[in-house]
Every structure is written in structure tokens, then in C-alpha cells.
């Protein structure tokens, strides 16, 4: 899955308790449609000021190539959101997985003197210098998910909660096993790439959440965030574990292979939780016929919210749902748990693996 390098300590602000990210909060503040709520004349004026067409903001956009369902959804969401505003002009550069090429693309946006840059860096550390250059040139940078090395490189950071994903997955599994009266459960984990901070954060959150129930992680294998690796690693784990009560897979793209291995092994004695919130996973959950019973979100709608934030910053506006007159410097999205009971609410935001 996406190579995020956000430290847990930067989780400064939780928005979007329904799991739709900051987009739900921002829509009321920035949509071209008239804001619905106004309890006071001041609130009404502020909401209308944000939703009304303002000065045109040119937003540069750069992200990795869409070689993964989640990454592809990032670009689609950003493009679709920009089209909602008549006062937004999107300058999207060619997506690439090459750091040098992305740096060159950002240099192009700086030379074009765009107003704001929304960037999901291939590597936060290696893109820090060019982001700082943009900031020094007076171009505000929205750092999307993969964090730069220093806050000097961005105006606002918005991204997902890797530790929170683990907590949500562990809490769901813990609740289910406790309600079934399962003692000493065997809980498997199919992680992503172990060398990445994001994987370490997800695993730590999972471990910490299970510990609250007196449970611990059983067999654990790391994959590579691909369908092929997910299938191979899961097949090996199933061969070595004769009993499993529950399983968490970190990534729904990877999960296609995980589910394939489970079906091939004819294992149905356990239930599984996914990660990220793909439409594929949600359809499996909705069917009720799969071992996959839930997934925890890492919403690519953060890209939509990033465009909204860029528009507000470019027009020197704040978020009218908040008391502050400025857009926050950090927004962490909530990792919601999607089950058969609420899947219809989340399915429209799911991405195709």
C-alpha cells in the first residue's frame, strides 16, 4: 500500500467521525451550494462567504502514479473536487513514482507561480527541499499524507491515522471475540512492508487495542501491499496455523490476494477485517457470504479535502465550522470501522482495487 511516513505524534486533530475524513466538515464550508445551517447572522455570513464564488485560485497538484487502487483514488478525488468550484483552476502535473521526476514537476509548478500546491510526495524526506522552496516563493503547500521532514515545508498537513487503523481493527476483533466467549483466541495479522513506519504504527495500534481485551497477536506475516504478495504470504500462514479465530489484513488491495488464499485453502472457521476501505472489500462485506466481515478506513477522500483546504487558503478564508479564522495546520482523519450494518453509507467513498 501507499508508503506513508507520518509519525503518530503528529496526529493533532481528529475530524470526520463518520469516517469520511475532513471532507464532511469542509463541504459545509466550501461547497458552491448554499450552506444549510446558520444559527446566528454572523455564522450565516461566514458560511455564505465561503460557499460563494471568490477569486480564482490556481492549485498545483502532484501525486504518485496510480499503480495501486488507493493511489489512483487520490488523483481521481482531487480532480473531481476541483471541478466542483468555478473559482478553482487545477494544474495537475504528470503522476510519477520517480522522486527526481516529481521534484522537477514541482519546480514547474513553482515557475508557473501557482497559488497553492497540493502534494502527495513519493517520499516525504526527499521532497522536503522542493516543498520548502515553494513555501519560500510564497506558494502555500498542502502536504497530503506522506509527511515532509519539517513543518517549514508545508502550510497544512492532512492525512490518515495509521495507528488508529490498528486500534479500530483490534477493537472490532476484540469486541467480536469477547461477545462470542472465545478464550485464548488465535489472532493472525497480515501486515504490509515491515520496514515502513506506517506498517509499524498500524501493528502497534492493533497490538495495543487487543491488549485491552487481554488478547495478543498470534501468527503474523508481512507482505508487500500487492495482490501477489498477499496471496503467497497468507497461503504460507494458513499452512502453518491449524487454528485461527480472527485475522487482520492491513490493506484491501493486498486483501484480494489474501481472500484468494483463504478460499483456496477452504478455511472458513475465522473472520477477517480489512484495511483502507476499498469498494471491493465493502461489496464482500455486504454480501455476507465472505470471511471478510469488516474493514477499517484510510480514506482517499483526503485528496478532496486537500483541494477544499487549498481553495480556502488561496482565498485567505478559514473553516466556518471552527471558531478559528485560519485553516488548521494539521488534520488527521478518523479510521472508521465498516461492517454490514453501515456499509451502504461508506460504499460511495470506496475505491476500486
**Tens of each residue's pLDDT in the chain, 353 residues:** 433 333 333 333 333 333 333 443 343 343 333 333 333 334 434 445 787 899 999 999 999 998 889 999 999 999 999 999 999 999 999 999 999 999 999 999 999 999 999 999 999 999 999 999 999 999 999 999 999 999 999 999 999 999 999 999 999 999 999 999 999 999 999 999 999 889 999 999 999 999 999 999 999 999 999 999 999 999 999 999 999 999 999 999 999 999 999 999 999 999 999 999 999 999 999 999 999 999 999 999 999 999 999 999 999 999 988 898 999 999 999 999 999 999 999 999 999 98
Going 307 to 310 to 316 to 319, the CA torsion angle's sign is positive
> In terms of DSSP H, where are the helices of the chain?
22-30, 41-51, 69-82, 99-111, 124-136, 162-179, 197-211, 227-240, 252-264, 279-287, 302-314, 343-346
CA distance linking residue 115 with residue 150, whole number of Å? 21
Q: Could you tell me the strand order of the sheet in which 246-249 lies?
A: 220-222, 187-191, 246-249, 271-276, 292-297, 337-339
Tally the residues of the chain: 353
Distance CA 44, CA 168 (A): 36
Which domains does the chain possess?
A: 20-159+300-333 (3.40.50.2300), 162-297 (3.40.50.2300)
Cell numbers 454572523: residue? 42
**Nearest C-alpha neighbor of 180 from the set 272, 246, 241, 248:** 246
Helix (H, G, I), strand (E, B) or coil at 280: helix
Say if residues 102 and 70 touch (Cβ distance below 8 Å): no
Amino acid at each position: 500500500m501507499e508508503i506513508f511516513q507520518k509519525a503518530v505524534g503528529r496526529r493533532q486533530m481528529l475530524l470526520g467521525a463518520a469516517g469520511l475524513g475532513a471532507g464532511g466538515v469542509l463541504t459545509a464550508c466550501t461547497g458552491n451550494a448554499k450552506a444549510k445551517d446558520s444559527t446566528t447572522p454572523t455564522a450565516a455570513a461566514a458560511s455564505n462567504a465561503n460557499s460563494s464564488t471568490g477569486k480564482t485560485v490556481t492549485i498545483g497538484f502532484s501525486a504518485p502514479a496510480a499503480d495501486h487502487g488507493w493511489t489512483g483514488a487520490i488523483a481521481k478525488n482531487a480532480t473531481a473536487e476541483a471541478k466542483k468550484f468555478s473559482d478553482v483552476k487545477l494544474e495537475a502535473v504528470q503522476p510519477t513514482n520517480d522522486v527526481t521526476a516529481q521534484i522537477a514537476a514541482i519546480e514547474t509548478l513553482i515557475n508557473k507561480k501557482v497559488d497553492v500546491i497540493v502534494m502527495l510526495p513519493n517520499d516525504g524526506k526527499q521532497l522536503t527541499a522542493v516543498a520548502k522552496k515553494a513555501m519560500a516563493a510564497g506558494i502555500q503547500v498542502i502536504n497530503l499524507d506522506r509527511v515532509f521532514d519539517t513543518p517549514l515545508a508545508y502550510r497544512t498537513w492532512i492525512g490518515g491515522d495509521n495507528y488508529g487503523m490498528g486500534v479500530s481493527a483490534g477493537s472490532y476483533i476484540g469486541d467480536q471475540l469477547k461477545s462470542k466467549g472465545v478464550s485464548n483466541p488465535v489472532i493472525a495479522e497480515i501486515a504490509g512492508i515491515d520496514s515502513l513506519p506506517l506498517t509499524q504504527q498500524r501493528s502497534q495500534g492493533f497490538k495495543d487495542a487487543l491488549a485491552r481485551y487481554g488478547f495478543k497477536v498470534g501468527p503474523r506475516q508481512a507482505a508487500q501491499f500487492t495482490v501477489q504478495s498477499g496471496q503467497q504470504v497468507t497461503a504460507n500462514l494458513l499452512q502453518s496455523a491449524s487454528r485461527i479465530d480472527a485475522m487482520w489484513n492491513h490493506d484491501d488491495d493486498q486483501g484480494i490476494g489474501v481472500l484468494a488464499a483463504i478460499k483456496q485453502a477452504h478455511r472458513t472457521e475465522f473472520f477477517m477485517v480489512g484495511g483502507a476501505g476499498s469498494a471491493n472489500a465493502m461489496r464482500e462485506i455486504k454480501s455476507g457470504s465472505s470471511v471478510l466481515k469488516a474493514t477499517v478506513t484510510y480514506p482517499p477522500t483526503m485528496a478532496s479535502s486537500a483541494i477544499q483546504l487549498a481553495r480556502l487558503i488561496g482565498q485567505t478564508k478559514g473553516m466556518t465550522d471552527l471558531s478559528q479564522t485560519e485553516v488548521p495546520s494539521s488534520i488527521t482523519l478518523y479510521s472508521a470501522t465498516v461492517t454490514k450494518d453501515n456499509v451502504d453509507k461508506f460504499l460511495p467513498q470506496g475505491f476500486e482495487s
